[in-house]
Structure 1
């Protein structure tokens, strides 16, 4: 039976699979939204706790995910729940593969797709990774000998658990600068057969030891040592387990996934010295003392920093070639893609992101937005702000490489458990969209069998995007919004005019530490202090769009019609900017000068001063100096200089905006209004995505760089209309917390109607008649009905059932409209805790799930008496609070169990009761 399944999967994927097909641009409906394909919908990381899954429950939850508007799932097996061990399935066992095949088949039948973690928990590792293939670290030991002395102890590691540590180098350093390689003089007994004839000598031994790190949050069958990512043989050993389990045949998995690089202390691999010699051109064995240096000595700081820069560049090459590219080639042989979180890696993030099919960033924590009414409780958030510039490393790698999809692990620890509203999700996901991300993955959804009591099985760092969440009945509101946005943000190509070089060698040239893992959580150390970051923030603020370039990317960049081309399908850039940097490779500088010679515009904020590393240092310095000496700049305008070469020009000046203006590279002045934006280029023109994260209504006319016929598209309501234009300016009304798309077409397109602007408000009609509140779904018990003369939190009734309740309450009332004469009517729900679904006169208006809780309802109204029904869902928080007060056991997992936002034992018993339901005031405003 299993063989038949394999053959079926092979046939289906040989028939349907194509890398380009998996990253298609949206097919646009005439004058409307692009057709929503499954990769445009939000996906979710799907934790299989203990792999305790069965076909019946998988069928049920996949249907629920599909109905809620999810486009796919990413299977990540993790630790299990206590007491259910007899339900566990070993990872990659025949039973596990049967569950995978069922999931893929059923998901595909529902119009969904499946990604899969190439492992369990994180990082990669498992039972088949023996010590020789496990993550490796450099261990050094220092000895001292005087003239005539012999070393009487064996040269071994003085660290527990390092019996297998392999001596890789033994180097002696004399007082007069002598360096001797003593490695050949070490006997089988590990004793050194050498004695100095004069002076005092320091001897440094270098060992390849083991980190002993094991897979974190591993699932059954996935426990074991972490992989040595730097060694190709070890990576091949790791992947062979999968290939063997799969029978070397495709499994129907769209993409294999790798989480953020969290391989702690893995500073070495046994082949490091050989690779270093080949790549850097000198023997690292001669510099073991400098490699072990703390970097605090002023007299040695420069040479130590240079050596460690070369060491870090070698780490980068090993990780890129032996792991990232190797893993991607393996996945392609199985007709699947790779999706990788490169951040945290000890390498050039741009190249590591660029080596996979779908680069993935992540946001951890929450951002501050001055949106009116947006809740941000200090006790419920982590002191971490997601940085849009960090997210642009992933999107830049995709844009410059011609890749369509850029994903994100989204909402990790956005708030404390059970307190995350859709309103809080919305601006965070919009900030990702503005950074170029267009393929959202929720973090996440825990698979929970149907017989598990509420709240079901839960992951410790999740926003609980699952059917047990009391918000779930209205999750389609958020999901559909994301799908509409991504249908456009995956269309065409990104439209970024600037390419900015990332000076990685300035980052690597640091005497402190060894391997440098560039983490999302450490941007204040390696990113924020740099001139590169400050320039990016400045250019973004004044209305420029850009991507980042690495040295490797520039090597293959060409110039076509004075535009920079980074790949066959990549974005064409108008200029290359080199931020202020201390160090640059002569080869990179010469390539940049060559791009200018072939017609490009190049801007140096300042000229680089030196070359990185120690390899052939003086010769490379001469090369750099010679190249710089050819740049005979002349004053061009106040504040900057220029050098004409071939068909192009190189500019030098700190005021980048002035130089861009001089070259007629325009900024988007729409940012002066307080709006943020990103653009996409399509065959008929361009899309603008406009976001108002300010505290004010923005009602203004905008000048757009792209000229043409403008259509407004509202991704929250799907309403489309032709914009009003005057003297090439487009009128926009956009409330605090709202977003709009503008489609600018070169030729007119037929739309249903003109956009209705809300210009002349009349007195609002207060919906202050009696409301009947009826509870329909939720627990622990349905509260009794309430009759409300004034809207209030349903927890204010004093009824214990209402205070403990998480679920759905339905409000019903009536109101009168004397005459339906206004051009539009806007329903304002006031304060909603937390999401609402509205019907007027029996017709559904839609889900009003975020700030501002408003909707245009003119088409639903009738003169005279009208009925209104509002279904409101609240947070899970009050019910969890009640369970912890009553000491009802609901969290009992292996490994980390369940923790709060500060990684302490979770206990909601001291929480305040969260407001719930519709508190209003509710009104309808006519606009004439």
Structure 2
């Protein structure tokens, strides 16, 4: 039986591996691609305490599949108190058995399974002994004068550093002398050296330990954080998994690594030798400058740039590529959140199979009626440019998927509506993300009372959420969008160089983790960021490129190819930057010589780092001297070389115009877009995040028949084109796809809502009855006017979270209009609509409207509207009554500000169908 199961898992995982790596064509059925599981939203799946069992796994996985999820990402964490006897030790035989059951069950339901290569975060655990744990640089200073001997042994003084190793001892004299005293240190730590003259500052360099433990670890996952910079340590870490797996594939599609949150890990045992090998000089001779007080000294900035580049290399080769190679041997792929790492994010994202971005907090969208509470706003909003680091790595590497951890701390607990989720997801799509992971879902057994087990930092995408009966509306929307956004290849014309050496060339600090929360320090002030924002707003599409990526790029038919499977780029843009490697500049000129078009916003001024500085400066200047530009119109200078062209222009958009690279003028309307190209044409994804409804003709840079595709309703139709402009109608908060094909064969026209005619206000009486929820089902209500059900007389309604069904009827004198639109106006928070017993669909987001003409009839019509509200009022009631519901180990449960959670002081959240409800005829 096991052999049979293993063979099936091996086959499955082999297929999974090949599909994840390949640019597999997406199958179409009619107008929409066939929905495959990777197109549906997936969710991070917390196994609290690993207290999972087959019976409950069977139940919850079916609920996930029925709700439209495509897969789960197992992340074991700390557990709930009182359930310790059900805990399974991570990677134990019992845990492995339950993993096998999970994979088998998920497969039968059409779900995929990913797995964190660890518990909690970051990577670490019991297999990581102090010698393999995250390492930091420790220095100690001593002073000796002529004739003095050191009267103490050279041993680390910091507490709990039993495993610290002395790696260098450097003496600095008053006249600039630098002496290596490491060989003078005896086995007992005494120094066998006495200065003959002068005064000397002596720096001892130790490799110490951060002593960081795995955060939010699950049972069996506790232990020190891994030294990600050391290959031997990474190998030791991964061996535990290989042993538990028996070296065989487990049916895991992808192994996952969360954002790099390895605090204070500034060193590794091999750092000095790697630095000398790669930078060409001895870092031990510069320890005083490296660890001294922050300075504006340019050479210290250069030294630290070299140090940071070495960190980058160690992390890339010893961890990221090493881990990915390990996963491939198990016929799985890797999914990595590289942000937060002290390295070049583009290369770190690019070294894995599925680069993953992250959204944290909420963005501001001027969509009328969209709630954004002041208490929910974090210090830094999600930034689409930051997300493009992950999608760029996918696009330039020819990888099919770019994922995102989505909705982390979108709002305070229990207050997140689907309406708030939608524009955040759309912003990710616009940034090139096409594989959304919810953050997230906690496994919760049926015998745990409501609200079940919950994770402290997530929106509650689980069956205990009162919104869950309507989650398929959101899930289906995302699936339709991703079915197209995973089709074909990205269609971005520009490649923008990211000047990482300008980022690294700072005298302040030591290592430089490039965090999502710190983008206002390392990203926002840069010319690179400002240019990216301007080009995006003006209607250009682009990806980012690193030095390493440019080094491997070639030119084919005057276009820049970054990999064999990636879509090519028409132009490389180099933003204004101070520092550039001579080798990178030479490669850029080589690309131009081979036929590429290059635009410099400004020429680089200097080389980074200290190594062989003057020789490299001479090399850079020699290359720059070959760029003999001639003047041109609009301040654009040009240099022709080989079959290509180099332009120098402060105004990059003017330079693009001069070489016929056209922007998409549709952004002038306020619409945002992203394009995908297929064998037959192109897709445009259009989103209206403005405050206004848009009804206009759009000029597109692609010709052909235009098919309008509505991912909300799945309706399609041929667009009206007049004077080469495509008419689109998008209300604030809506989105559409345009499918442009030169040989399109679609026939049915899109029905536009042209002239609004008469309206029917559904202001008659409504009956309201409650079918599901708690803490108690309220009594039926008869409403003469639609109001929040929390304002009604029944005291149970203020505490109620669940489902209410509104029923009524209305009269339609005659059915003569071309279309009729139902407008629910205010809904708290989602509605499912039936007209005359036929389901219209789930109206789960602003503007809560639907076309209903095909469901109406002349005469009397019935309407049923099922509404679900937030969990907030029920939680508030429990906290007011001090009913215990949160009782976890470790962090337990906190609010958005990481304080103890308490909803007892909340205001009651409006709930139900508030309206006014109307039906408008259109001709």
Q: Structures share a fold, TM > 0.5?
A: yes
Which residue does the alignment assign to 1:574? Answer: 570
Contact 1:295 1:512 (C-alpha < 8 Å) held by counterparts:
yes
Which residue does the alignment assign to 1:477? Answer: 473
Quote the Cα distance in structure 2 between the aligned partners of 1:748 and 1:416.
47
| Aligned partner of residue 664 in structure 1, secondary structure | coil
Which residue does the alignment assign to 1:782? Answer: 777
Relative distance call for 1:67 and 1:331 in structure 2 (3 A) is same
| Aligned partner of residue 757 in structure 2, secondary structure | coil
Deviations 1:34-71 (A, max 9, x none): 11000000000000000000000000000000000000
Which residue does the alignment assign to 2:643? Answer: 647
The 5 Å alignment of 1:248-647 reads 248-296=247-295, 298=296, 301-647=297-643
| Aligned partner of residue 320 in structure 1, secondary structure | helix
The 5 Å alignment of 1:656-671 reads 656-671=652-667
Cα drift, residue 29 of structure 1: 2.5
Which residue does the alignment assign to 2:830? Answer: 835
Which residue does the alignment assign to 1:183? Answer: 182
Quote the Cα distance in structure 1 between the aligned partners of 2:12 and 2:469.
34
Which residue does the alignment assign to 2:115? Answer: 116
| Aligned partner of residue 193 in structure 2, secondary structure | coil
Quote the Cα distance in structure 1 between the aligned partners of 2:630 and 2:525.
31
Which residue does the alignment assign to 1:226? Answer: 225
Contact 2:23 2:399 (C-alpha < 8 Å) held by counterparts:
no
Cα drift, residue 2 of structure 1: 5.4
| Aligned partner of residue 75 in structure 1, secondary structure | strand
| Aligned partner of residue 632 in structure 2, secondary structure | strand
Contact 1:342 1:353 (C-alpha < 8 Å) held by counterparts:
yes
Which residue does the alignment assign to 2:6? Answer: 6
| Aligned partner of residue 744 in structure 1, secondary structure | strand
What runs of 5+ residues in structure 2 fail to find an aligned partner? none
Quote the Cα distance in structure 1 between the aligned partners of 2:782 and 2:379.
42
| Aligned partner of residue 589 in structure 1, secondary structure | helix
Quote the Cα distance in structure 1 between the aligned partners of 2:4 and 2:173.
69
Which residue does the alignment assign to 1:69? Answer: 68
Which residue does the alignment assign to 2:103? Answer: 104
Quote the Cα distance in structure 2 between the aligned partners of 1:8 and 1:578.
50
Deviations 1:403-447 (A, max 9, x none): 010000000000000000000000000000000000000000000
Cα drift, residue 3 of structure 1: 6.0
Residue 854 of structure 1, aligned match among 845, 849, 856: 849
Which residue does the alignment assign to 1:201? Answer: 200
What runs of 5+ residues in structure 1 fail to find an aligned partner? none
| Aligned partner of residue 18 in structure 2, secondary structure | coil
Relative distance call for 1:2 and 1:150 in structure 2 (3 A) is farther
Residue 670 of structure 2, aligned match among 662, 667, 674: 674
Relative distance call for 1:25 and 1:767 in structure 2 (3 A) is farther
Relative distance call for 1:685 and 1:122 in structure 2 (3 A) is same
Cα drift, residue 798 of structure 1: 2.7
Quote the Cα distance in structure 2 between the aligned partners of 1:197 and 1:336.
62
Contact 1:502 1:550 (C-alpha < 8 Å) held by counterparts:
yes
| Aligned partner of residue 19 in structure 1, secondary structure | helix
Cα drift, residue 84 of structure 1: 0.6
Q: Does 1:730 align with 2:729?
A: no
Quote the Cα distance in structure 1 between the aligned partners of 2:792 and 2:341.
53
Cα drift, residue 156 of structure 1: 1.2
- TM-score w.r.t. the length of structure 1 is 0.99
Deviations 1:794-835 (A, max 9, x none): 111132211110000000000011110000000000100000
Cα drift, residue 157 of structure 1: 1.3
| Aligned partner of residue 798 in structure 2, secondary structure | helix
Quote the Cα distance in structure 2 between the aligned partners of 1:12 and 1:347.
34
Residue 912 of structure 1, aligned match among 907, 914, 921: 907
Which residue does the alignment assign to 1:125? Answer: 124
Which residue does the alignment assign to 2:693? Answer: 697
Q: Does 1:792 align with 2:787?
A: yes
Contact 1:599 1:647 (C-alpha < 8 Å) held by counterparts:
yes
Quote the Cα distance in structure 2 between the aligned partners of 1:338 and 1:515.
25
Relative distance call for 1:482 and 1:83 in structure 2 (3 A) is same
Deviations 1:150-195 (A, max 9, x none): 1111111111001221000000111111111000000011011111
**Bigger Cα displacement from structure 2, 280-289 vs 316-325:** 280-289
Quote the Cα distance in structure 1 between the aligned partners of 2:19 and 2:457.
34
Cα drift, residue 638 of structure 1: 2.4
Contact 1:328 1:356 (C-alpha < 8 Å) held by counterparts:
yes
Relative distance call for 1:18 and 1:887 in structure 2 (3 A) is closer
Deviations 1:603-637 (A, max 9, x none): 11111010000110010000001000111111021
Q: Does 1:244 align with 2:240?
A: no
Contact 2:494 2:541 (C-alpha < 8 Å) held by counterparts:
yes
Cα drift, residue 17 of structure 1: 4.1
Quote the Cα distance in structure 1 between the aligned partners of 2:16 and 2:782.
58
| Aligned partner of residue 688 in structure 1, secondary structure | strand
Contact 2:17 2:328 (C-alpha < 8 Å) held by counterparts:
no
Quote the Cα distance in structure 2 between the aligned partners of 1:372 and 1:164.
59
Quote the Cα distance in structure 2 between the aligned partners of 1:30 and 1:683.
16
Quote the Cα distance in structure 2 between the aligned partners of 1:740 and 1:329.
40
Cα drift, residue 22 of structure 1: 5.8
- TM-score w.r.t. the length of structure 2 is 0.99
Contact 2:362 2:376 (C-alpha < 8 Å) held by counterparts:
no
Cα drift, residue 27 of structure 1: 2.6
Quote the Cα distance in structure 2 between the aligned partners of 1:861 and 1:703.
36
**Bigger Cα displacement from structure 2, 125-134 vs 286-295:** 286-295
Contact 1:19 1:337 (C-alpha < 8 Å) held by counterparts:
no
Q: Does 1:883 align with 2:882?
A: no
Contact 1:720 1:755 (C-alpha < 8 Å) held by counterparts:
yes
Deviations 1:733-773 (A, max 9, x none): 1000000000000112224x210111111121001111000
Quote the Cα distance in structure 2 between the aligned partners of 1:22 and 1:465.
29
Deviations 1:841-876 (A, max 9, x none): 000000000000000000000100000000000000
Quote the Cα distance in structure 1 between the aligned partners of 2:776 and 2:394.
50
Which residue does the alignment assign to 1:158? Answer: 157
Which residue does the alignment assign to 2:917? Answer: 922
Cα drift, residue 8 of structure 1: 4.1
| Aligned partner of residue 701 in structure 2, secondary structure | coil
Quote the Cα distance in structure 1 between the aligned partners of 2:581 and 2:430.
32
Contact 1:832 1:920 (C-alpha < 8 Å) held by counterparts:
yes
| Aligned partner of residue 473 in structure 2, secondary structure | helix
| Aligned partner of residue 772 in structure 2, secondary structure | strand
Q: Does 1:712 align with 2:679?
A: no
Which residue does the alignment assign to 1:45? Answer: 44
Contact 1:26 1:34 (C-alpha < 8 Å) held by counterparts:
no
| Aligned partner of residue 368 in structure 1, secondary structure | coil
Cα drift, residue 149 of structure 1: 1.0
| Aligned partner of residue 763 in structure 1, secondary structure | strand
Cα drift, residue 122 of structure 1: 0.1
Residue 810 of structure 1, aligned match among 801, 805, 819: 805
Contact 1:26 1:37 (C-alpha < 8 Å) held by counterparts:
no
